[in-house]
Structure 1
Amino acid sequence: MFLLVLLLFIGLCVEIFHYVKIKANAFSEKEVKAAAELQAKRMRIEDPEISCDYCGSKIDTSKYKVCPHCGAPYDNDEEWLAKFKVDEEFVNESTDRLIALREEKASEKSRELLRSIKNKIRILVILNVLIIVFAVAFTVKQNMDRFRGNEKLNESTYEQYAETDYKIEGDRVIYDDGMVKITISGIYQEDDEPTKTDDGLLTKNAKVGFIVENNSDKNVNIAMECNSVNGFSTDSFYISDYSLYRKNKAVTVYERIRLCPGEEVSEMIFDSIEVYSSDYKYQGSIEKPVIVRTTSKKTEIDYSISGNKLIYSDDKVDVYSKLIDGKGFEIYAANKSDKAYKIDSDDLIVDGKAYTAYGLHDVFFPNGYILRTSALRSYAEEFDIKTIGEKKCTD
């Protein structure tokens, strides 16, 4: 649209220039007077002969300045003055006639140009108004889209989520600092059959509803993470929200539990909830993980990691590995202790090859849970790296 406006503006400038030029040419008195004088000069030359007042001989005024027979001057000769001298009145009359003629010729062309100019001005005004309206609407929408507002449970036509029969135990509040309050509104699932992951874990789609009340006078960012559900932890997240919420406003939003383990949600552990304003003058966070339990009776999930290769074991944890695609490994760990851990790792050495753990950075690992990682890949093998710096494993 900007290019169209630019082209129209250039065209308008060209036509205005032509219009001004036509009007100037039509009413240029100097130019018209010069044309009238030229016409008068041509009239004098058409019949240059007069009769000498002294001797009566013919004088060709185009050749002689005085009478060739008697030498008498004719500059005051009445015939000369009456017939050949073009006075100011004639020039003025000729000028008026030429101006009228040129005005008539220019008038039609200028009217056409003026109509075109007016049309282009109208179009430019309309386009500029549309651009301004569009820019304002876009800015307002962008500003509104920055904030999460009230959301529908089923955003797409193919979604069929409904509230579950089992409910949240307790008051359902997972964060409240007096300014911002986050409450779980419910658990929602679709009425479909559960599916299994590649490693045999039963999963079913689920959503969690959150009522976010921002009672502060500042817009706030909320970073909320949950990587542990139903006895399973992941190096990614089951629930992850990094969103902006408007000041003095309460909204209901929904987050999907990605590959929710089990047929129902019996337990969720939120290991990190942070709330802060854009200027960081207001900040808040949970001091310890928040455990949310439901009334679901399906707390046991038929799944075992013991069939994989045991690569490490002590009184706190068992660690297993599983070869995938012949190129990498998945790591499984069982937390046998009575404590929760944060798992962090650098590259690992497995059978003499360096493997990169993409997601093992501050991974929350509660007691009694099983940790399932994403694939660990060997860059040395995939990208044919010949030399690798020394690595060592530490506790």
Structure 2
Amino acid sequence: MPQPTHQRRVDLVITGAAELLTCAADASDLIGRIRGGGVAVDGGTITAVGDVSGFSGRREIDAAGKVVLPGFVDSHTHVVFGGDRALEYAARVAGQVPPAGASVGIVGTMADTRARSVDELVASAAGRIKEMISSGTTTLESKTGYGLDTATEERLLEVNAHLAALLPARIMSTYLGAHAIDPQRDGAEWTEDILAQLTEVGREGSAAFNDVYCDTGYFSLEQSRSILEQGRRHGLRPKIHLDAYSHTGAAELAAAVGAVSADHLNYTTDDELRVLAKAGVTGVYMPCLEFAVQHPAPLDPRRLYAAGMEVALATDVCPGSWTTSMHLAVAMGCRIGGMTVAQALRAATYGGACALGLSATIGSLVPGMAADIQVLDVPFYEHIAYRPGLNSTQTVIINGSIVTGAGVE
């Protein structure tokens, strides 16, 4: 095919992809597959998708034989924490009681996190986030929640700010003071402290979201309501850990407060899922967590689709389920959740953007969107789910800059 005489000069052109997946909101096949297409990028923004023969790039990537798709959007992570729970995990899989002194559960991680400085927490979390970036994650959410006192929760927000300044990935900070209750404290007292701290968080702008763990043994329906409404009053968008281990009836609360996402949903009824769908709440599915903890009632994400919900896939990276790989989340979403590969890839990109309220700017390869792109060394997209454990991401581009792979800027 003859090249146009006059080509528009742009910052970056990706050409000749075996498959290009736009994951556009209105894609009839969910992923917007284009064979042999490319992407033109200028000023950190996508300029053209598909036929890019009218563009020349100051930098060019030949994607022949490869798959190009949006960067992954990991919309649910607990990536900032101290220590680990490896001894607990090893004991559990062997059917044994964790040894004395092992860090166990949220409370164990609470102690480990409180003992770390801001610099130590930044260093450990940065290492995990670099793993995420190298495997195609370009945007992630980062929750607090392992402090369980106001001083440590404030430090964790500070850690999130340092990480956002240090790393190329887009990091969305979530305040999750309502993750659990320190067993040495009264739950009602801690709830009051959370309500007071939300005023400060809103004033400082240190978090975009306010999350609560609504479940038996955590925060009640009424406590969750007061926490989410308080955050909303101070400019924080609501998110909710919902019905992970019991039915709480909080789906209607999530819908009423305009939650951007409801995560877990293991015991949420079909009628409640329809309420969430009608309210535009994105459902977040985390199969790696369910695998790691051997969840007694695994979520079937097909129920969310049947209810009409947009679905997001996330890693839920945390000390109890330590995986940073969205590739693995996609594979497990298909194998143990029954998702199609197209559903899983849409959920890992556009769906994740919906769960962060960012679908107008990221999660799709569409002109005008942020140029968050990955190039995978696989011949067609089904390989991403077909080969669990493989990081096939070869090049990662965030806001138009190459951050991993050949030509790093």
Q: TM-score band (shorter)?
A: under 0.3
Larger relative contact order (Cα-Cα within 8 Å, sequence gap ≥ 6): 2
TM-score, normalising length from structure 1?
0.21
- Answer 1 or 2: which has greater helix percent: 2
- Structure with larger Rg: 1
